[in-house]
Chain A
Amino acid sequence: MTPHSVQKSPFQLAMQRLARNRFAVAGALLLCAIALACVLLPALLALDPTTTHPALRNLAPASGHLFGTDTLGRDVLARVLVGGRTSLLVGIAATAVSILVGVSYGAIAGFYGGKVDEAMMRLVDFLYGLPYMFLVILIMLMFSETARGDMLPVFLALGLVQWLTMARIVRGQVLTLRHQEFVLAAELLGASDLRILLRHVLPNVLGVVVVYGTLMVPSVIILESFLSFLGLGVALSWGQLVSDGIAVVNPVRSYWWLLFWPSAFLAATLLSLNFVGDGLRDALDPKART
């Protein structure tokens, strides 16, 4: 090896591949822009999503209210941005919950293998086939008297139905890693199961966890929007804004901006997340590219 050529780590190579994927890069940029706008803009522009103005009802987009106003005269731009905070937060937090559950479950099943694995995965297979919306609705009902704006129930309800895919994937990875020489070597040296799992196995699973975590966020956001549509949402979110927009759809007068803006933000976010997730998968595992 010549002194000039620099050894690249697998991670650097993956990032290089990711940077070459135009869709993934565009998705990541759009995602950052949306997230920053949702977090910063309402405060910077002093936008108010809640105050009603009876005089300013149902205004079409114009210079004063860029996205128009809703049926109670509230600024739609403010509502879309603040609603975005909820949707993104729910997406990330519920995904974190499901990663926590899924990774531990999958790691244990894959690590111990055999009948333990079979029993644990049977349960996952079964839950996988269920219409998880049942569970989500029932769990949400349990918290129906908690204060509005308390989002912990949503995190839990959505996180607890989304961990299955993660458990399956992690289990598959751990199962193969389990029998590789470096794990066996650690075992021969007398390392405890927990130590082997944490130090030798899990770090190697990190890649797929990141990929499928990214791909999980959109499905969580979709589920949250379902809940909002059914009237079970807990805070102002894109899903709720879309439902409000649908509620005023009528053949006589079009208030398109009430439906269009939240739908557009929702779709753009979900699309970007999918692009980034797909790009990450291709970058981290070029062989699995489909």
Chain B
Amino acid sequence: MIPPNEGTQERLRVRDLCVRFVTRERTVRAVDGVSFDVRPGEVVGLVGESGCGKSVTSLAILGLQEKPAGRVTGSIRLGDTELVGSSESALRKIRGNRISMIFQDPLSSLNPYLRIGEQLAEVLELHTDLRGERAVARMLEILNQVGIPGAERLRAYPHELSGGMRQRVCIAMALLCDPELLIADEPTTMLDVTIQAQILELLRSLRETRNTSILFISHDLGVVAELCDRVVVMYAGRIVEQAPTAQLLHHPLHPYTEALLKSTPRVDLPRGGTLRPIAGLPPRLPDKQLEACAFAPRCPRVREGCTQGEPALESAGPERLRRCIAPVSEMETPES
């Protein structure tokens, strides 16, 4: 497999990442041979249905896969640091410091028993030598940046804040140490649409003002379209397509991407089209080589060759990859 953009300027370089969950009954391969890069200041979307392995991938980057069942192989490089196989203490120095993460549900992601200030302060205590006054000053500075003015918020408990506020707190917590990479795992899914737009705006401004790279995980192509430079589409633990956002949205190559697009409401296309749900469920894959395209059972374009060995991930133009032997042709415009 040829990785796209061989070079050293990437901030995050994931190569041939595999995550397997080994239990007494069976072994499940949740992520299989995933490779992608995130460059400085770039926002990369990781897209797929729930259970496709996108969250597992993001947790594996931080070394937070479920233990002891989760086994990670392959390579994850942050700058010059190899993360796979690093010691727990080395990984701890990276988490919350060089790579931060924000999660889907801002209420349950914050500890209900501790004040906001306490939860922010422990990050500084852990990764910096800021203490006391200087720590408070830093926290206020960051809170201000994410749009929460006022020192009194430090004394508030999470339940005293609104959903949008809580997510801003989570983002502030993630930014305290100026991370090189921010992983955002569906950060807007649980929020109202208006708040959603505000949070997206906030993330966009971060990338511009601080040059933070963002790995943005979502099942919602609409949100991805607004924020991301490039998109990686995952299905059943593997990458099926990768492309710059505009190209992916307008000319999807993989039938799965096409199906995802058709199942997402769009405002940029004329009204009147019907939403098409994708029939069936994504499979849970065993720990072995596939004998067919994983999407074949649900694929509307399935043909004979699809069940004879798994298609390889192949280049399809600059910065484009697809894993399909019968791609959607460039001629076809996505139906509306």
A and B touch in the complex (CB under 8 A): no
